[in-house]
Amino acid sequence: MEQNVLKDKITIITGAGRGLGEALCHGFADEGAIICPWDIDEQNLNNVAESLKKRNSLGRKAKLDITDEKQVENEVNEIEQEFGRIDILIANAGILHSYEITDFPEQLWRKVIEVNLVGYFICAKYVAKVMKKHKKGVILQINSKSGKKGSYWNSAYAASKFGGIGLTQSIALDLAPFGIRVNAICPGNILESPLWQTSLFQQYAKKWGISVDEVRRKYIEQVPLGRPCTYRDVINVAVFLASDYASYMTGQAINVTGGQEMR
Ligand SMILES: NC(=O)c1ccc[n+]([C@@H]2O[C@H](COP(=O)([O-])OP(=O)(O)OC[C@H]3O[C@@H](n4cnc5c(N)ncnc54)[C@H](O)[C@@H]3O)[C@@H](O)[C@H]2O)c1
């Protein structure tokens, strides 16, 4: 791929404050994109925006909740006014609550669907209105391997991610006549992420009565390529899908799992 393949592309990234979203901000900035980072967490958002500003890659930052339709609509309008267009949306923001089905609090189950599925719908809806005017654009959803295979204690997360693939395919059909491509990426376990480091390792170690190191080994053993998924693995595929190199691809959900789904 040529360098600066996303030069000056106005790119909204949701859930940009930490983890994969933060890494995507820098990965896309490396390719010349102008980043509009969104997050509900103001402190993390400000830190990311500051580092993007230092490298001249900051568009507009926004502290918002992607499940609040009015906030998303207003911010999309502000970006359109300032830059005249939106080239790329990466719907990355997502949450996970893990319970066995009979213990799952209903409100938490609904919350996961609300952020991971309804939030994606709301962002895509308003960004697509702008992209349609220009007959061009790319929408990428960060999905998960749990979007294709049910996962233990994860009924809400898997349901939200399966739904995300249905949403991706359906809006890819709606938007194809307008030159807008919509695809999803399904990463494996990103063990370097805060989600794993601050929460899942400890939760699973407790649940199974094993050490954190054993949990790590257990997850890596499931991967034919013998290592966890990294931010870089996801960024590489996201940059490709966002670029014109993928101009004949829409409605796809691409596994980035080291072959894990074959096991
Ligand atoms: N970490 C993994 O192993 C992994 C694997 C596969 C897929 N994913 C997916 O990647 C995406 C990012 O995951 P992560 O591990 O970086 O998570 P994370 O928890 O580190 O980051 C998620 C970010 O989204 C923000 N956010 C949450 N709710 C929001 C809302 N309502 N409005 C705006 N922002 C909100 C959070 O503040 C946070 O900054 C998620 O969609 C997740 O499902 C992660």
Residue 116 CA, ligand 1 centroid: distance in Å: 9
Q: What value does the mean pLDDT of the chain take?
A: 97
Does 201 reside within a domain?
yes
Cβ(80) – ligand 1 distance below 6 Å: no
Strand order through the sheet with 180-187: 62-63, 34-39, 10-14, 88-91, 137-142, 180-187, 253-256
Does 1 reside within a domain?
no
Cβ(140) – ligand 1 distance below 6 Å: no
What pLDDT, on a 0 to 100 scale, did the predictor assign at position 75?
Answer: 99
d(CA 79, CA 30): 21
Q: Are 24 and 12 in contact (CB under 8 A)?
A: no
Among residues 120, 157, 204, 231, which one is catalytic?
157
Domain count for the chain: 2
What pLDDT, on a 0 to 100 scale, did the predictor assign at position 203?
Answer: 87
- If asked whether residues 237 and 218 sit together in one domain, one would say no
Cβ(154) – ligand 1 distance below 6 Å: no
Q: Are 19 and 194 in contact (CB under 8 A)?
A: yes
Render pLDDT for 133-175 as a digit per residue (tens, 0 to 9).
999 999 999 999 999 999 888 999 999 999 999 999 999 999 9
- If asked whether residues 98 and 204 sit together in one domain, one would say no
pLDDT exceeds 90 at position 263: no
Cβ(164) – ligand 1 distance below 6 Å: no
pLDDT exceeds 90 at position 180: yes
Which among 40, 115, 231 is the best mutation to test ligand 1's pocket, defined by most ligand atoms within 8 Å of the CB?
40
Q: Is 157 a catalytic residue?
A: yes
Share of the chain above pLDDT 90, in %: 94
Which among 25, 39, 222 is the best mutation to test ligand 1's pocket, defined by most ligand atoms within 8 Å of the CB?
39
Give mean pLDDT, residues 109-123.
98
Does 5 reside within a domain?
no
- If asked whether residues 184 and 253 sit together in one domain, one would say yes
Residue 88: pLDDT band with limits 50, 70, 90:
very high
Q: Which residues pair with 254 in a beta bridge?
A: 185
Render pLDDT for 193-232 as a digit per residue (tens, 0 to 9).
999 999 889 988 998 899 999 999 999 999 999 999 999 9
- If asked whether residues 206 and 239 sit together in one domain, one would say no
